[in-house]
Structure 1
Amino acid sequence: MGIVKISDELHDEIRKSSSVMSRSINSQAEFWIKMGMLAELNPTLTFHEIMKRQLLKEVLTISEAIDE
């Protein structure tokens, strides 16, 4: 685990969003970082399409585990 330096303004936005989304500040930052990375890797997909793919990936992983 490392330390990432961000501006005070961005930290305030993360704090506000984390409260609305019922996530910790760290979890909210991690979510935004992951979504940003996925958006850069999939520039033609919308946010909703990226989320759907991630959810389907988790469902498949869970169902595969149940079958074993």
Structure 2
Amino acid sequence: MFCNSREIFVDRATGRVYEEGDIMKRERYGFTLQLIANATDPVELFYKGGMAQTIAGEITENGKKYVTRSL
């Protein structure tokens, strides 16, 4: 879910920073939005469910102390 800015703002094919008018593909972000849109209870999913666990886990992997109740 989380990544560094380079993964978002640099085109992997060319190695250059995206500029105004370029098309950026954010497949993981799109997948996340689809999960929220299709969830029976999107608030529960994001703040208490599997998505909250994933967010907390990835933040913790990157050296930060975080728990789901912080969401």
Scaled by the length of structure 1, the TM-score of the pair is 0.32
- Give 1 or 2: higher helix fraction: 1
Scaled by the length of structure 2, the TM-score of the pair is 0.31
Higher relative CO (CA 8 A, sep ≥ 6), structure 1 or 2?
A: 2
